[in-house]
Structure 1
Amino acid sequence: MGKKLKEILQLSEAETLTTEGNRVTEKKNKKDKKKKNKERKHNHFNEENPTPELLENGQGEAKPKRKLEEALEPSEVYGKDTESKKAKKKKEKKAEELNSSKELQGNNVEANENSRDESFINASVTVSGNNTKDSKYAALNSFAESKLPEEVLECCKNFSKPSPIQSHAWPFLLDGRDFIGIAATGSGKTLAFGVPALMHILSKENNKKSKRKNPLCLVLSPTRELAQQIADVLCDAGTPCGAKTVCLYGGTSKGPQISSLKSGVDIVIGTPGRLKDLIEMGVCCLKEVSFVVLDEADRMLDLGFEPEVRSILKQTCAVRQMVMFSATWPPSVHQLAQEFMDPNPVKVVVGSEDLSANHDVMQIVEVLEDRSRDARLVALLEKYHKSQRNRVLVFVLYKKEASRVENMLQRRGWKVVSVHGDKAQHDRTKALSLFKDGTSPLMIATDVAARGLDIPDVEVVINYSFPLTTEDYVHRIGRTGRAGKKGVAHTFFMQENKGLAGELINVLREARQIVPADLMKFGTHVKKKESKLYGAHFKEITADAPKSMKIKFDNSDEED
C-alpha cells in the first residue's frame, strides 16, 4: 500500500508540475503575442511618421533613433490617462540627458577635453581626379613608408607620423602630379608641399652637373608674414639637403634680396607685388622654375593679385608641376587652375569644403553697440589676460582702428603691440616676434595675421570688429585651438554686421556652440555667394570639371 501511495503522489506531483508549466507557457505566449502586436503598431507609426534622431550629445557620439514611446507622449501611444511609471521614468531620464548636454555645450573648453581624439586621427579625407585609386598613391601611415632620404625627413623628426594632408599629398606630388589641397590651417600644409619641393630639387641636381644659379621652385604667398613663415620652415627643412631659400616681399629694402638672388638660390618664396618688381628689374629669373606653389590662392585673388600671379606664372617653365592650396574653391581660383594645371588635377580635401570652424575652439558671440566695445574689451582682458602672461590676439577690421585700440589700451596700462598695413615691415616683424616669444603677449592685428600664421599657444582670440566675410572669421579664430589644444574665441557682433548673421549661425551650429538669442533676431538667411563676372546665379564648379573648348568653324561651305 505504501508503495502504491508513493507512486500516486509522484504522478499527481508530475501532473501538477505539467499543469503549472502549461500555465507559464500560456502566460509567456500571451506576453509574446502582446509584444508582437505592439511592435507591429509601432512599425506602422514609424513608417508613416519616422521618428527624428536625437541631437549629438556633448561627447560627440550620435544617439540612436528614439523609440515611439520617447518620440510621442505616452497618452498618444497607449491612449489617454494611461502613462505608465516606466514611461514617466524614461521621460525624466531623457530630460536629464538633454539638460546635461546643454550644460556641456555651455561649459568652458574643459567640456570637450575628453570628447575629442588626437588631432587629425578621424579627419575625413576626399580624393578626386584622374587615376587616384592606383595602389602607388595609397596614403602613407608612417614616414618610413615614404622611403625618402634621411636628410629630407630631418624636418619631420618631431612628428610621430605624417598629418592627413601630408600622407595623401606626398604620393601624388612625388610622382609629379598637379595637385589641389584644401585643409585647415595648422594641418601641416607647408611641409606637405615643402618636402616634395626638396625632392624635386635633389632630383634635378643629380641630373645636372654644372652649377645652377636660377631657382627651381617658386612659392607665392598673399602676405609678407605668411611668406616669412613659409621661408622659415623651408629654410630649416632645406639646410640638411643643401637647398638655399630666399624670401622676397615688399615694405623693406630690395638690396639684400637682390644679393641673395645673385648668389644662387633653389627656392624662391615671395609676395606677387615684390616678385613682379624684381622680375621686371631683371634680377629674378624664373625660366628654370618647374615646381610652383600657390599658397592661400583664394586670398591672393581676393587681394587683387590676379594680374601679377598670371604674369609671374608665364615666366616659369612651360612644363611645370603646379600645386595650389586654397581654403575655398571660388570660380576665380578654378579658372586659374584650368589655365595653368592639367585638365584633371588631383584634389584632396581634408575635412569639408563647407565653411566650418575648429571644434577645439569655444566660440562666444555677443551682440553689442559700437560705443560699448571698448569697455567690454577691457573687461574681457581683465578676465582672460589678468596674469598678462598668456597670449591674447585681438582682431580689428581697419588699420586706423588698430592704432586707436592699441593707444586706448596703452593709456589704460596694458602692454600691447600691433600688426597692420600702415606699419613699416621692420615694425611688423618686431611686433610679431615680441608676441611669439611672449615678451608682449597681447597683440592687436588686422586680417594680415588671420591666415596661415603659426603662432604657438594663443589661448584667446577676441574679435573686436567682425570681419567682412565669414571665411575670415573662421581663419581668425583658427589662430587658437591649434594642434589639438583648446582655445576660446570671443566675438563682438554689431547691427552693421547683420548680413552675415545667417552664415555665422551656421558656423556656430556646425561646431555645436551656443547661438545667442540676440544673434537669432537678425535672421538666419544666408546670402548666396556671388561671382564678380556672373553675379549670384552660377553653378559650383568641381576640380575635375572639363576645360572650356574653342569652337572652330569649317569654312568649306563658303563660296569662293
Structure 2
Amino acid sequence: MGKKIQETNPVSEPIAQLETANGHKSDKKKKKNKNKNQEPEVQGTQKEPILKRKLEETEEQETIKTEKKKKKKYKEEKESGNFQESAKKDKKKKERARNKMKMGKQEEVKPEERVVVSGKDAQEAKYAPLKSFAEAKLSDNVLECCKNFKNPSPIQAHAWPFLLDERDFIGIAKTGSGKTLAFGIPAIMHVLSKRRGKSTKGAKPLCLVLAPTRELADQISDVIHDAGEPCGVRSVCIYGGTSKGPQISSLKAGVDVVIGTPGRLKDLIEMDVLHLMEVSFVVLDEADRMLDMGFRQEVRSILSNTCSARQMIMFSATWPVDVHNLAEEYMEPNPVKVVVGSEDTAANHDVMQIVEVLEDHLRDQRLIALLEKYHKSQQNRVLVFALYQKEAERLDGMLKKSGWNVVSIHGKKLQEQRTKALSLFKKGSCPLMVATDVAARGLDVPDVEVVINYTFPLTTEDYVHRIGRTGRAGKKGVAHTFFTHHNKGLAGELVNVLREAGQIVPPALLKFGTHVKKKESKLYGAHFKEISADAPKAKKITFNSDDED
C-alpha cells in the first residue's frame, strides 16, 4: 500500500505549532470532550471570555425586556387617553436637559477671564463682586463717567468692594481692562468722605497716583478729572519736561488728587511746594515698573512724606515674583490680591501674535512690506515700537523719506513734542507712530489695529505691555514681531507666552531653544535667595513725623 498523503492548510499549520508550544490539550483529550452535552474543561483566565459573553447576553435580554415594557406602556397610555400628559412630561424632561447643557456652557469661563481672589478675609460676603453699577450704591454724579458701560469690568467688580472698605490692594489684569476707573472711583469716594463738603481752597491733597511715564500720568489725569469734576473733586497732573509754574499754581490753589511721575513729584517736594502729609490713599499704576530699580528709591522717598496710616493700592498687567516681595514692604501683611486672567506673564488673547525670525539687515525692508499690507489706506492706526531713542529717530526719518506720514515719541523729545505727536496719532490726523517703550505701558489709544515690534524689548513683560496697545476693550488686534539672534535668550519665555495664548509658534523660534532663564533679582543679581511661601511676611514700613523734614 502506498503512503496516505495528509492534506495541510498553510494558515492553520502555524496555529497548530503555537498550540503545541503552549501546551494545549492533545488530540486524544479533545476527542473525550467532544460530547455535545458536556462543556469542555476551561481553566484559569480562559473562563473570563465565556463569563463575559454570558453577561453580555444577559444584559441584552434585559434591554429587550425594558424596551417591550416601554412599548406596552406607550400603547396603554395612548388607548386610555393619558398619552398627551405623558408626552408633556417627556417634553419637560428634554427641556430641563437642554437647559442644563446651556447652563454648563455659560459657566465655562475663558482662561483670560478667570478671577482669583486671595488675602486676609478676602472671602467674606461683604466683598462679593459687584454685578452692576447699582450695587456699588454710589451717587449718580460719581457714576456719570461709567454711563457708556453696561456693567463693571471684572477688575472693577472685584476691586471696588475692597477699596471702598479701605483695604490695601493688589490688582492684576490685562491692559485695557478698566484699571484706571477701578482705582479712580474709590479715590473720588475717599476724597468725598474726608472733605464732607469742605472747601478745597488751599487744601493739601488726600490722594496720590504714581505713574512711570508722562503719557500714562496725563491719561490717568484725564479720567480722574472727568469723573471727579461733577463731584467737585479737583486734580492736577505733575510731570517733567514742562514748566513747573502752572503746576505750582494749581497746588497752591488747593487740590484733592495729585497724579504724577516720580521725578517731578520729588522735585516739588524738595522745593517745599508739594505737601503730602495728608495723603492717605496712594496708588501705584504699572506697579511692577514703579518698583524696579529705576524708580524704587524715588518711590520710597515720596511715600515717606505721606500719612503713615495710608491705604496702599497697586495695579499692573504683569506681576513678577520679586516685585511682589518688594510690594509687601509698603502694604499690610497678606494684602488682598485680585488676579483677572493669569498672574504669570500672559498676553491679551484678543491679539493675534505673529512672530517672524529674520536677520537684522532685513528688518527695514520687511517693515515697509508690512506697512503696505496693514497700512495701505493710511487711515487705520499702526504703532511701531523701537528699543532705543536713536533707533526710533532713524526709523522716523527712513519712513518719511519713503513717503509715509509718520510721527514719533521717545524720551529725548521735549514733552511738548511728545504731547503733540500723541495727540495727532489719537485723533487720526497721523495714524502711524514710531515709539520707544514710553508708549508701551498704560497708553490708551482707541482703535490701534496693528502693533509692529521692529526691535524686541528687553523683557517679555514689556512685550506683553507693547502688544496690549491693540486689542483693547474687547476688540481684536494684530501684533507682528521681528525676532533676531540677539534676542535668543528670551526665546523660551516668548514661546510660553505664545502657547498660553494659543498662538502659532514658528519653527525658527524653537531652534533657539525653549529654556527659560531663571529670573534675576534687580537688587542682588543672579545669586539672590528666593523667599519661600512659608517665610515670615515683610513688615509694612511706617515713617515718623520727624522724617517729613
Bin of the TM-score, shorter chain as denominator length: 0.7 to 0.9
Distance 1:251 1:30 in 2: 87
* 1:518 matches 2:485: no
CA deviation string 1:347-367 (max 9, x = no partner): 111111111111111111111
User: The residue matched to 2:376 in structure 1 has which SS?
Assistant: coil
* 1:366 matches 2:356: yes
Letter in 2 for 1:431: A
Letter in 2 for 1:166: Q
Distance 1:543 1:285 in 2: 39
Distance 1:287 1:193 in 2: 21
* 1:419 matches 2:409: yes
- Correspondence for 1:396 among 386, 402, 414: 386
Answer yes or no: is the 8 Å Cα contact 1:391–1:435 preserved in 2. Answer: yes
Answer yes or no: is the 8 Å Cα contact 1:459–1:480 preserved in 2. Answer: yes
Within 5 Å, give how 1:524-543 maps onto structure 2: 524-531=514-521, 532-533=523-524, 535=526, 538-539=529-530
* 1:465 matches 2:450: no
Question: Could you say which residue in structure 1 is the equivalent of 2:56?
Answer: 33
TM-score, structure 2 normalization: 0.77
Distance verdict in 2 for CA 1:160–1:545, change over 3 Å = farther
Answer yes or no: is the 8 Å Cα contact 1:396–1:445 preserved in 2. Answer: yes
Question: Could you say which residue in structure 1 is the equivalent of 2:333?
Answer: 343
- Correspondence for 1:447 among 433, 437, 451: 437
Question: Could you say which residue in structure 2 is the equivalent of 1:503?
Answer: 493
Letter in 1 for 2:530: K
Distance 2:417 2:258 in 1: 23
Distance verdict in 2 for CA 1:290–1:300, change over 3 Å = same
Question: Could you say which residue in structure 2 is the equivalent of 1:265?
Answer: 255
Question: Could you say which residue in structure 1 is the equivalent of 2:446?
Answer: 456
Question: Could you say which residue in structure 1 is the equivalent of 2:538?
Answer: 547
Residue 534 (structure 1) shift: 5.9
Question: Could you say which residue in structure 2 is the equivalent of 1:178?
Answer: 168
* 1:325 matches 2:303: no
Answer yes or no: is the 8 Å Cα contact 1:301–1:332 preserved in 2. Answer: no
Distance 2:313 2:426 in 1: 29
Distance verdict in 2 for CA 1:463–1:150, change over 3 Å = same
CA deviation string 1:23-68 (max 9, x = no partner): xxxxxx95973999xxxxxxxxxxxxxxxxxxxxxxxxxxxxxxxx
Within 5 Å, give how 1:73-112 maps onto structure 2: none
- Kindly report the root-mean-square deviation, in angstroms, between the aligned alpha carbons of the 2 structures: 2.7
Letter in 2 for 1:437: K
Distance verdict in 2 for CA 1:331–1:351, change over 3 Å = closer
- Correspondence for 1:289 among 261, 266, 279: 279
Distance 2:262 2:475 in 1: 34
Answer yes or no: is the 8 Å Cα contact 1:128–1:544 preserved in 2. Answer: no
Residue 483 (structure 1) shift: 1.2
User: The residue matched to 1:236 in structure 2 has which SS?
Assistant: helix
Structure 2: unaligned runs, 5 residues or longer: 1-51, 60-104, 542-549
Letter in 2 for 1:290: S
User: The residue matched to 2:442 in structure 1 has which SS?
Assistant: coil
Letter in 2 for 1:198: I
Answer yes or no: is the 8 Å Cα contact 2:353–2:479 preserved in 1. Answer: yes
Answer yes or no: is the 8 Å Cα contact 1:396–1:463 preserved in 2. Answer: yes
CA deviation string 1:241-273 (max 9, x = no partner): 011110000011111111111111100001000
Distance 1:456 1:483 in 2: 9
Within 5 Å, give how 1:91-170 maps onto structure 2: 123-170=113-160
Question: Could you say which residue in structure 2 is the equivalent of 1:558?
Answer: none
Question: Could you say which residue in structure 1 is the equivalent of 2:421?
Answer: 431
Letter in 1 for 2:354: I
Letter in 2 for 1:392: V
Answer yes or no: is the 8 Å Cα contact 1:365–1:492 preserved in 2. Answer: yes
Structure 1: unaligned runs, 5 residues or longer: 1-28, 37-114, 551-560
User: The residue matched to 2:512 in structure 1 has which SS?
Assistant: coil
Residue 538 (structure 1) shift: 3.7
Letter in 2 for 1:460: V
User: The residue matched to 1:246 in structure 2 has which SS?
Assistant: strand
User: The residue matched to 1:293 in structure 2 has which SS?
Assistant: strand
Distance 1:505 1:323 in 2: 32
Q: How many residues align?
A: 446
Distance verdict in 2 for CA 1:542–1:456, change over 3 Å = farther
Question: Could you say which residue in structure 2 is the equivalent of 1:5?
Answer: none
Residue 341 (structure 1) shift: 1.4
Distance 2:169 2:206 in 1: 18
Residue 334 (structure 1) shift: 3.3
* 1:274 matches 2:260: no
Distance verdict in 2 for CA 1:119–1:247, change over 3 Å = farther
Distance verdict in 2 for CA 1:132–1:321, change over 3 Å = same
CA deviation string 1:139-182 (max 9, x = no partner): 00000001011111111111000011111110011011111111
Distance 1:185 1:245 in 2: 24
Letter in 1 for 2:473: A
* Bigger Rg over Cα: 2
The percent identity for this pair of structures is 71
Distance 1:122 1:524 in 2: 23
Distance 2:338 2:533 in 1: 12
Question: Could you say which residue in structure 1 is the equivalent of 2:27?
Answer: none
Question: Could you say which residue in structure 1 is the equivalent of 2:289?
Answer: 299
